[in-house]
Structure formats: structure tokens, C-alpha cells
A and B are shown apart, each in its own frame.
Chain A
Amino acid sequence: MKRINIFLLLMVFIPLTPFVLEARQITVSTDGDITSIQKAIEIAEPGDEIIVKDGTYRENNIEITKPLTLKTDGDVIIDGEQTGTIMVIRADDVTISGFTLKNTGRSYINDFTAILVEKSTGFVIENNTLENVFFGIYLAETNGGIVRNNHISAHDRREASSGNGIHLWNVKNPRIEDNTVTGMRDGIYLEFAEKARITGNNSHDNNRYGLHYMFSNGGYYENNRFARNGAGVAVMYSDEVDMINNIFEHNWGTSSYGMLLKDMRQSRIEGNRFYRNTVAIYSESSSNIDIHRNDFLLNGWAVNIKSSSRANRFTENNFVENSFDVRTNSPRNNNEFDRNYWSHYDGYDLDRDGYGDVPYRPVRLFSVIIDRQPESLILLRSMIITLLDMAERVIPVLTPQTLIDENPKMERIR
């Protein structure tokens, strides 16, 4: 009987324990007892919630070393006054939500950051606005964690003196969702990030790359938009990365690419839209990549594929009115083009199976001419160039003979 009683007591109290250990709330306000966020953190117990009332707080190097939740009530601005880092998180399960962080220090030696997260797990950084910062959110040696719906901006136009919006170094399983990054050096930067999940971000008008993806295996990025970045997006030295349903647009310049692939292997590029980039996809030393069902619209060069790339498969993509469809520096072809739609294709389909009866040659003679004499670019769309291209297509001499699409689709793939 006694046994049963104890058991019953436990049954009643165990579910209640969380309420007994209910987190305390500590309020910080400009005119209250606690006026500094750092102070509130010092007196807080692990698991407490710190509510910051509206106002401007001039603080930097706020260090969080225990699991805490920092929230805001009203417009809370933390002004770093151009010195050092604003917030450093060195504990697990920290939540930072709703703050506006401004004015970190700038340096050529230190990576001053608005929110630095080190060796932590289970953190949530959401709904913050970061303005005029050197680095925005910096994750180092973390595992898991979410960075969601933050708005990061800076206005330094020089590449050397601006930092990255969301910087990931040596992390595992990070989730980067729905953030907007603009005016930074790289919008989102990954180095040694394992299984990163990057979705719904908008990275535009950054000085260098919208997304800079290096040595990061097994992740994916989906439904992001990368526009008007100085050099587009670079995905390098990684395996098994899925790049799906993103938008790459208006990345203009001599070294600007919708997507730059370098030393990539076994990856998937699917359902993306490349619109008005100087080069939509540039590929160097990449292999076994499936490029499937993407839209290439009005780009300068849809694909610039170097001879060091092999066994990549371009299937069922739409190539619509790109100035040049494919450019390559090799007389041979180590990649596969099949069943794509090419708006420049002028063949016929007598057997009505939806595929043209004559193969399509996506490398124009003019592309070769431009490689030799770049000034002749001004003759693009000239009648004489069209005639030369036509002659070359009938009897290819200067363009790679085996780079062909045997089954060019007659109609655009929806």
C-alpha cells in the first residue's frame, strides 16, 4: 500500500516539476532597477528569461555563458558604438529574439560580429535586425541551432572592409531560414559546415558572393533568392549538395556568376531559375552533377563549362534567349546534354514525338570568335553572325563536334 502511495505521489508531482522550476523573468529597462543587459545576464540563473523593454542600450561584448532566453518588449536597440563584438554566446540553448543590433567595431584583424555563437547547441536567433555591422551572425563550432528571419544590412561597398552576413565556420547541422542579407561582403558564408540547411533566404546586393559555400558536405539550399551580388554565388569543394528551387538573378560583371561551381561532386541542381546573369552556371573541375529542370532565361552565357568538368548531366532544362547557350574551352565534350529545350533550336520534328529530329549544337561559332577577339561582341545579333553560325552548325569546324543535344525538346518544359 505504501508503495502504491509513493508511486501515486510521483505520478502527480513529476509532471508538475517543470512548473515548480519555472524560469524567472528578469526585466531590463532604461529607467528600471536593471539598466544593463550584461548585468541582467550576470544575475540570471540558467533557464531564466530576460525581457528587455524598449530603448537604446549602449553596450558591447555582452557575454552569455548560461542557457537564457533574451526577448524584447518594444523596440530595443543595442548600439555597439563601433567597438568590438556586441553579443557573444558561449552556452547551449540560448534564444535571442527581436533585437536591433547596431554598429559593431570594424577591423582588419578581428572578426567583430553582432552575434557570435561559439561551441554551442540548441540556440535560436530569430527576428533580429542587424544594421551597420561588420560580421552579422557568426557561428563557430556549433551543432544544430536555428538562425531565422533576421534582417542583416551594412553599407560598406568595399570588399576588404566589409564582413559576412551569416558566417558559418566548422559547424554541424545549422538551419538558416528566411533571413535577408544585404550590403555585406558575402551574404551567407559556409566553411566546413556539415549538413547545412539553408532555406528561404534573400541575399541581395552584397559586395561579393550572395552565398559562399566551401568544404561543406551533405547540405542543401532551397527556395533562396540571390540577386545583384558582386560575384553571384560560389559553391566550391563540397560533395552531395542539393541546390533546389532557388532564384539567381541580375548578377552582372566579368567575374560574376549566377552559380560558380568549383571542385563539386555528386550534387544536384534542380528547379532553379537563372535570370539575366552574365554567366548562369560556371563549372570548373566539377563532376557528376545533375542539372535538371532549371530555367535559364536571358543570361549572357547560360553555361560556361571548362574542360576540367566531366560527367555532368544537363537534362530537361529550358534555355530561353540566352545570348550564348554554352561556352567551353575544350574541343571534346565530357558532359552530357539531353532532352533540353533550346529557344535557339530551329530544327523540325517530323515524327511528332516532341523531340527535334536534328541534334542541337549549343556552342555557337560566335562564342569561339569572341574568345579570340572580344571586341566583336558588339556584332552580337548581327545578320552576318547569324549566317556564320548557321554555316558552322551545318559543318562544325571550330566548335566542339560532340557537344550536342541529341533530343532537343520542341516545346518549353513547364
Chain B
Amino acid sequence: MKLLSHIVKNEWKTLIRGKWVIGYGLIFLLLTDTLLRFGGGGPEVLLSISNVMLLFIPLVGMIYGILYIYQSREFVELLLVQPVNRKTLYWGLFLGISTPLMAAFILGASLPLGWHGILMQDAGASIMVLALGGVLTFIFVALGFVLGLAFYDDRIKGFGFTIVIWLFMAILYDGLILMAVFMFGDFPLERFVIAATMLNPIDLARIMVMLEFDISALMGYTGAVFRRFFGSGAGILTASGKLALWLAIPAWLGMRVFYKKDF
């Protein structure tokens, strides 16, 4: 435990010295503040933040994760020479980079929300958007780690996959669902559509945002499966359960790869 906190602290110091994280937080701070100054009400701004969050946090998280693996190669290999438990080292590295990134987003977005009074006014919605951003950060930093470790020597390939995976999850995946819906429109598709969106963490986060802001529209839908899913607590429960799975699996996968890897 002591070792873990030591590694994490060390990571924090390096990151803050690097100032990237501070810039990342400042971007969200500026964005939120300008939105609030120009845009007006709470829901509008929260929705804008969530749009940005759904698009950019996955990209930034993955790039940051993979970049870190590549950059600190010598450092990691040096540490591995020491009598250090590999698991501890992995979690130290992972938490050391993902927590500041998460904190940057949460602080950057919540400070303006706080001083404009939205945090109090729309407490539930604000907390949910901020928490979703945090969870997405964790998931995609872990994915970045996995990719970095998988393509340890081939950086171009690693970055390439990062971009492609981001593009796929953020945009193409929904396009494929839309296509499927139109191609097989004559069949009952509700279950399929729900199951398909549950496979993608960005879609999961989006559904949670929808459940908060668009529930009135969702309840206008006639299908019974949708109604049961969205109308009761089932939707939020399943979505957050699946998000938790997404939180666990990539991080665990990264750990496996790291544990077994011959550096």
C-alpha cells in the first residue's frame, strides 16, 4: 500500500510538472465558464459539457494513456528491475495518471458550475455529468494502457489503433446501429438496439445523459421494452452496471498484459 501511494504521488508530481493536465483542466474551466456566460441556463450548459465530454474525454484519455506508456518506457523498465510487485506498480502507474486527468475534468467543469450556482440548482444532473466524465476518463486511460502495452514497440500502430478505436466508438458504432435499424426495420428491434448500445461505453454514458435530460421524449415511445427499460430504474441500473464492467475489464486486462509481459 505504501509503495502504491508512493508511485501514485510520484506520478502526480511528474504530471503537474508537465503542466499538460493543468491545461486540460483549464480548457474545461474556460469552456464551462464561457458557456455559462453566453448560454444561460443550467440544463443547456450541462448538455453542452456532456456533448464535449462524450466526444473528447475518450480521445484524450486514450491518447494520454498510450503516450504515457511510450514516454515512460525507460522509467518503467528501471522500476521493474527493482524488487517491486508488478501488480502494485501497474495500479500505481494507472491511478497515478488517470486520477489527475479525472480531477482536472471534474474541477475544471465544476468550479464554474459552482460559482454560477448551477451545482446547487441542478445538483443531480451536474453530479451525474461530472461523474460520467470521471468514469469515462478511467475507462479510456485503461484502454490506452492496454493498447500501449499491446503495441509496445510499434508506436505508429498503437496510435493508429487509438484513433481508429475512438472514431469507431464515438461515431461509427452508432452509425452501424442506425444502419442495422433501417435494414432490419421490419423486425422487432428494441432488444437488439438496447443490447447493442450497452456494449459501447460512450453509448452507455450517453444513455445516462438521456435518461436525465430527455426522459420526457423517451416516454413518448410506444414500444413496451423501451418503456420498461427507460421508465423504471432498470435503465439507470443496467447502464451503470455495464459502465462498472467497462471500468473493470480494460483496467484488469491492462494489468494482465503488464503482469505477463516480457519487457
**Inside 8 A of B203's CB, which chain A residues have their CB?**
382
Of A45-53, A213-221, A297-305, A309-317, the one with at least 4 CB within 8 A of chain B: A297-305
Of A35-43, A178-186, A271-279, A283-291, the one with at least 4 CB within 8 A of chain B: A271-279
Cβ < 8 Å to B, chain A residues 312-340: 320-321, 323-324
Among A279, A382, A386: residue with most chain B CB under 10 A? A382
Do B190 and A381 touch across chains, with their CB atoms under 8 A apart? no
Do B193 and A378 touch across chains, with their CB atoms under 8 A apart? yes
Report if A381-B51 is in contact (Cβ < 8 Å); known contacts: A254-B222, A375-B223: yes
Q: Within the assembled complex, what's the spacing in Å between the Cα atoms of A279 and B218?
A: 11
Among B182, B203, B217: residue with most chain A CB under 10 A? B217
Do A384 and B175 touch across chains, with their CB atoms under 8 A apart? yes
Of B3-11, B21-29, B206-214, the one with at least 4 CB within 8 A of chain A: B206-214
**Inside 8 A of A15's CB, which chain B residues have their CB?**
none
**Inside 8 A of B189's CB, which chain A residues have their CB?**
375
Do B220 and A300 touch across chains, with their CB atoms under 8 A apart? yes
Name which residue of chain A comes closest to B185, CB basis.
Answer: A373
Do B209 and A381 touch across chains, with their CB atoms under 8 A apart? yes
Of B36-44, B76-84, B94-102, B243-251, the one with at least 4 CB within 8 A of chain A: B36-44
Q: Within the assembled complex, what's the spacing in Å between the Cα atoms of A373 and B183?
A: 10
**CB of A199 to closest CB in B, whole Å:** 27
Give the A interface residue count (CB, 8 A). 38
Q: Within the assembled complex, what's the spacing in Å between the Cα atoms of A398 and B229?
A: 31
Q: Within the complex, which residue of A253, A297, A373, A377 is in contact with B182, where a contact is CB–CB below 8 Å?
A: A373
**CB of B102 to closest CB in A, whole Å:** 22
Q: Within the complex, which residue of A276, A297, A299, A383 is in contact with B171, where a contact is CB–CB below 8 Å?
A: A383
Do B219 and A300 touch across chains, with their CB atoms under 8 A apart? yes
Cβ < 8 Å to B, chain A residues 242-297: 250, 252-254, 256, 276-279, 297
Q: Within the assembled complex, what's the spacing in Å between the Cα atoms of A382 and B54?
A: 9
Q: Within the assembled complex, what's the spacing in Å between the Cα atoms of A299 and B219?
A: 11
Cβ < 8 Å to B, chain A residues 159-181: none
Name which residue of chain A comes closest to B171, CB basis.
Answer: A383
**CB of B58 to closest CB in A, whole Å:** 11
**Inside 8 A of B51's CB, which chain A residues have their CB?**
381, 386
Name which residue of chain A comes closest to B206, CB basis.
Answer: A381
Do A278 and B193 touch across chains, with their CB atoms under 8 A apart? no
Q: Within the assembled complex, what's the spacing in Å between the Cα atoms of A343 and B48?
A: 11
**CB of B116 to closest CB in A, whole Å:** 15
Q: Within the assembled complex, what's the spacing in Å between the Cα atoms of A277 and B199?
A: 30
**CB of A256 to closest CB in B, whole Å:** 8
**Inside 8 A of A324's CB, which chain B residues have their CB?**
217
Do A382 and B226 touch across chains, with their CB atoms under 8 A apart? no
Do B214 and A300 touch across chains, with their CB atoms under 8 A apart? yes
Q: List 7 A-B contacts (CB under 8 A).
A: A250-B216, A252-B216, A278-B216, A278-B219, A298-B43, A343-B44, A381-B206
